[in-house]
Amino acid sequence: MSERTAPPARPEQRRAGWFITGTDTEIGKTFVACTLLHALRRSGLSALAMKPVAAGFDEHGRNDDVERLLAASSVQAPRALVNPYGFAAAIAPHIAAAEEGRSIELPQIVASFEQLQALADVVLVEGVGGFCVPLGSTCDTADLAAALQLPLILVVGMRLGCINHALLTAQAIAARGLALAGWVANRIDPAMSRFAENRAALQARIAAPLLGVVEYGTTPEQAAALLQLPDRAL
């Protein structure tokens, strides 16, 4: 009688996550990331967010974006994992890193992300600036998204000129062979003329679903009720 062999072990299931990018800086990536965290909590999932690279810290060693993500997360994680690279000056990260004599290493960020995956059902990763912001002489945030192998959510700051910025960013994401899971229209300019027409133009041209519109003056908790979560690839 032949000896039976055990079936091969199943590979560990990859947990869900998204990379939050934007059409520019100061267009609400952190706000939308916090909104997604609240939406995930409403759906019964544990979630946390990391800001791998942040620039601009106060005298107490705090960065506004990092603090807001920590507060909105349903799972608390070590700050060193949530923000592996923090720079004092509120300037472009590759310049800040050079001035401090440091370098941003993608493998360290990936390792931090993998540790965070063990703590929650979903891990969001917020980029810095726009999609192609340099992180050093040989890499940028697009390379970071590729290294993490995460689908992206694009935050579009709805203001004059956003159509061009959004379409160029969507094209850059596709050119890198990355998946765009959806986009969010963030009304950063409440007086924007022809908002509905601009939104329709983007919906017709971006090959990914509109996840929702974030109205000016709302809180992440309020916006979460109106935001659709992308499909999760577990």
Q: Which of 144, 149, 114, 119 is nearest to 129 (CA)?
A: 144
Tally of residues, the chain? 234
CA max distance for the chain: 80
Q: What's the CA gap between 10 and 83, in Å, rounded?
A: 32
Catalytic member of 38, 41, 51, 68: 51
DSSP string, 134-199: BSSSS-BHHHHHHHHT--EEEEEE-STTHHHHHHHHHHHHHHTT--EEEEEEE-S-TT-TTHHHHH
Strand partners, 19: 125, 152
Any catalytic annotation for residue 51?
Answer: yes
End-to-end CA distance of the chain: 40
**148 backbone φψ class: left, alpha, beta (φ>0; ψ -120 to 50):** alpha
Q: Which residue has the tokens 């091969």?
A: 8
Distances (CA, A) of 92 to 19, 31, 105, 168, 207: 19, 20, 16, 20, 30
Give the residue numbers annotated as catalytic, written as ranges: 51
